[in-house]
Amino acid sequence: MSWRTAVRAIAGGLGVVIAVVFVAAAVGTVLVALGLPPESRAGDPPATDPSTPRPTELVVALKLGDPVLQAGAVTGEGQVILARGLEVEIARALAKRLGIPRVRFVYVRPASRLLAAKVRPWNLTIASIRTVPSARATADLSDPYLVTDQAIVLRRGLGRLASMGELRKLVTCALRGSDGARALAASVRPSHAPLLVASDDRLLEIVRTGACDAALVDSRDVGRFVAGRGTLLGPVLARVPFGGGYVVAVTRGGPITVDEVDQALARMRADGTLHRLVRAWLGIDPARLRPLS
């Protein structure tokens, strides 16, 4: 090979190398522009390890106490057997959506330990938790699975309310010290002083007799409040937004993430599972009531 031939061969090889480097750099630029790192970038969250096994049991902490939301028998080891209630069924439906075959319920006492315990050997806490700062500080909170708005129970003979302005003009009532009373003060601000009473029986009486035009009742309790009294009370068609809703507290550092829980809840809303469970246990699904504004 002459020296001229050798020089041409070397030059051609360098050209190929330069072209390859240029193409690789261009591809890397496109990947970064698309948000896809060519290899890895500082600050990217670590990818989920596909070898990490999914749990075969979902451990859910309960506080018990309300037979409609969660109830059951507690063993000496703190396990809840014969568990039943709306929140129990929501936990079971979540496990199914998460692909976890078994659910184990544990009773945590006192209830303050549900979010304050330093060691939490459970994956989820479902116990009528609201999105308050103390809860956000200790757990990852899901989207709401049940609204905490105030349902409006009208006296017989009143028609459908079209706006918050119409509600303000009515004589309103609620249990003293309840979320209904707080919603009246904070959101409704009625023209007439509301009637605040000490018991559900008294609240029912003043609506039934017409002394009160519209009662604000906790959305989770309104089904029981009106059950069997359709001829005594008016319709329940609207609600006053209040409180943000009940959420699932996901234990940090566990095998279940809050994103997974949110996705499962979204599927349960979309396919009607949440509506069917809430309607079955509460009698009325408050999410289907029209929010007043």
Could you read off the pLDDT of 146-160 as tens digits, one per residue? 999 999 999 999 988
Q: What is the pLDDT of residue 223?
A: 94
| Res 58 pLDDT > 80 | yes
Q: What is the pLDDT of residue 166?
A: 96
| pLDDT tens-digit map of 98-109 | 999 999 999 998
- Cα(153)–Cα(238) distance, integer angstroms: 8
| Res 244 pLDDT > 90 | no
| Res 74 pLDDT > 80 | yes
More confident residue, 89 or 159: 89
Q: What is the pLDDT of residue 243?
A: 85
What is the pLDDT averaged over residues 59-81? 95
Query: What is the reported pTM?
Result: 0.79
The listed range with the strongest mean pLDDT (8-17, 52-61, 267-276) is: 267-276
CA distances from 51 to 47, 176, 254 (A): 11, 55, 16
- Domains of the chain are 57-147+244-291 (3.40.190.10), 150-240 (3.40.190.10)
- Cα(250)–Cα(257) distance, integer angstroms: 7
**131 burial type by CB count under 10 A (0-12 exposed, 13-18 middle, 19+ buried):** middle
- Categorise residue 65: left if φ over 0, alpha if ψ from -120 to 50, beta otherwise: left
Q: What is the pLDDT of residue 168?
A: 97
Q: Across all residues in the chain, what is the average pLDDT?
A: 84
Mean pLDDT check: name the lowest of 9-18, 138-147, 152-161, 260-269: 9-18
Q: What is the pLDDT of residue 52?
A: 55
Which residues, 6 or more positions from 3, have their beta carbon under 8 angstroms from its beta carbon?
A: none
| Res 264 pLDDT > 60 | yes
- Cα(260)–Cα(143) distance, integer angstroms: 11
| pLDDT tens-digit map of 137-146 | 999 999 999 9
What is the pLDDT averaged over residues 124-148? 93
